Amino acid sequence: MSAAPRTVALVPARAGSKRVSGKNVRPLGAHPLLAYTVAAARASGVFADVVLSTDAEETAAIARHYGARTPFLRPPALAGDLSPDIDWVEHALAALAAAGERFEAFALLRPTSPFRTADTIRRAFARFVAASGADSLRAVERCKQHPGKMWRLEGDAADPGARIVPLLAGRSSRGAPWHSTPYQDLPPVFVQNASLELAWCRVVEKTRTIAGEAIVPFFTEGHEGLDVNEPHDWWYAEHLLATGEAALPPVDVAPWNQRGSR
């Protein structure tokens, strides 16, 4: 059996967030949000290192408390609302390589998926390394809003002559247009969620993307792929915890706010 590739977990946690202020360090349950991702990554046993990429020293300090490394700060130019992932991933891998730390593969584990567990990561990693010829793996789930029932606008919305046309002009097995077909009879369509991505480092070097061309699907289960990005998402995450419908990964470190240092 060949050895597992040396893999680094990259956890992005820039300071700026407009939809949920300070979401990466905002407490959910007993710990800041990012703590659950760091804890799951460490407990998975998959990674040679867990590295947090942030532009804020306070966020870095919290991450270190929970066991992540922060060997660099992300430049502000790579931490804006519109900064693509490839920019900060390149920066992180280059900074690690400059320090003599090279990896064959990397994972993107975003703090906004707090219900992703160590087992989730292990399942995804096993699927990734078993996929011959793959460039990357991406977490997906069955979409709730099917694109076959979506429309695009032709003309101005205020114009009585405006029309809507189907985004996708497909037909069901019974001949009906997709927009008039029950969801159960529509072809399965999956949407990516933010919980997990895995890729070979060579993909970044050769294609300057984080995914490449040959992408393996990883089908998340239950609340593993829940993405906490809007105020309603945060309310829902707290609701799941309060009702016992979901549980956060265990964290083996005392809560940050009990240290008396912020």
Q: What is the DSSP string of 3-14?
A: PPPPEEEEEE--
The pLDDT of residue 258: 47
**Same structural domain, 154 and 243:** no
CA atoms of 21 and 35, how far apart (whole Å): 17
Domain that holds residue 76: 7-141+191-258
148-194 confidence digits (pLDDT tens): 999 999 999 889 899 999 998 888 888 899 999 988 888 999 999 98
What pLDDT, on a 0 to 100 scale, did the predictor assign at position 172? 86
Q: What is the largest CA-CA distance in the chain?
A: 67
Apex 186 CA angle, 182 and 187, nearest 5:
170
Residues 216, 98 share a domain: yes
Bridge pairing between strands 27-28 and 105-108: unpaired
Q: Residue 1 domain-assigned? A: no
Q: 32 and 64, same structural domain?
A: yes
- Does 179 reside within a domain? yes
Same domain, 101 and 179: no
Instruction: Please tell me the pTM assigned to this model.
Output: 0.90
Residues 165 and 219 in one domain: no
In a domain, 2, yes or no: no
Domain final position from 159, 185, 211: 185
pLDDT of residue 19: 61
Q: Rounded to an integer, what distance in angstroms lies between the CA atom of residue 4 and that of residue 12?
A: 24
Q: Which residues of the chain have pLDDT under 70?
A: 1-2, 16-21, 258-262
Is 97 found in the same domain as 203?
Answer: yes
Q: Looking at the domain assignment, is residue 134 inside a domain?
A: yes
Q: Are residues 202 and 176 part of one domain?
A: no
Do 109 and 171 belong together in one domain?
Answer: no
Same domain, 96 and 131: yes
219 bridge partner residues: 140
* CATH number for position 104: 3.90.550.10
Looking at the domain assignment, is residue 60 inside a domain? yes
Q: What is the DSSP letter of 1?
A: -
- Quote the crossing angle between the two packed helices 33-44 and 57-65, to the nearest 10°: 50
In the chain, the percentage of residues whose pLDDT exceeds 90 is 78
Predicted confidence (pLDDT) per residue in 10-19, tens digit: 999 988 666 6
Identify whether residues 11 and 61 lie together within a single domain. Answer: yes
The number of folded domains in the chain is 2
Task: Report how far residue 39's alpha carbon sits from residue 137's, in angstroms, rounded to the nearest whole number.
Answer: 21
Q: Which residue, 76, 97, 78, 106, is CA-closest to 10?
A: 106
**Where a domain ends, among 123, 155, 185?**
185
Residues 178 and 134 placed together within one structural domain of the fold: no
CA distance linking residue 43 with residue 109, whole number of Å: 13
| Inside any domain, residue 119 | yes
**Is 89 in the same domain as 208?**
yes
pLDDT recorded at residue 17: 64
